[in-house]
Structure 1
């Protein structure tokens, strides 16, 4: 019985660790997307300063700045999508941790019951020995 509960606890711990890894990976992706978008903002600003034109509707507006804006917008949209996945991953991690705690509590209860049963059996043996000694006297 013990090995089954230990196996279940190991499985739940593995699942929690896996959820943590997924969460960290998503957080890293969001941070990378936001960092790259910030870098593109800086490049766009430098291009505005070089050309002296910051009006997107201007006929001589930099094609590099337009392309960089498109890439930046795509990165920010991707970061927004990943934030939704991040929330889902956080929920999945919380659920996995909760399941692990439940399994650990059940294991503790089972261990406590086994210890109580062992103590009761041991006490019964002592009672029987005492009864036999009492009868012999």
Structure 2
């Protein structure tokens, strides 16, 4: 029976690890999106500064800003979607962790029962040996 429980513990530990990996990937993606948004904001400010200093920059700036704002909006939308997925992934990690703990507790309980059974069998064997020695001693 413990073999089956061991397999279930191994399966749930693997499942938990996979869910943690997915969450980690989502968190890295969120960080990268935040960095992309910050870089784009800095680029917009740099272009705004350049537009203020030259006529060519002033002419090109409105087109640049329109494209940059669309890109920023897409990045922000992606960031929100990743955050939603991250929240779901956190909940999945928590559920997988709780499920694993149930099986680990069952595994520990089965191990304890097996140890108690072995100890009981050992005590019975020792008691039998003691009785046999007592019988032999009484016959002599």
CA contact (8 A) 1:12 1:100 kept: yes
More helix by share: 2
- Say whether residues 1:5 and 2:5 are aligned partners: yes
CA contact (8 A) 2:47 2:61 kept: no
CA contact (8 A) 1:26 1:82 kept: yes
- How far did 1:19 drift? 0.7
Identify which of structures 1 and 2 has the higher relative contact order when contacts are C-alpha pairs closer than 8 Å and 6+ apart. Answer: 2
- DSSP 3-state at the match of 1:102: helix
- How far did 1:63 drift? 0.6
Superposed CA deviations along residues 1-31 of structure 1, whole A, max 9, x for unmatched, are: 2321221111111111101110011011111
What's the TM-score once normalised by structure 1's chain length?
0.88
* 1-structure distance, mates of 2:20, 2:46: 39
In angstroms, what is the RMSD of aligned CA positions? 1.9
Alignment: residue pair count:
132
What's the TM-score once normalised by structure 2's chain length?
0.86
Name stretches of at least 5 consecutive residues in structure 1 with no aligned partner: 54-58
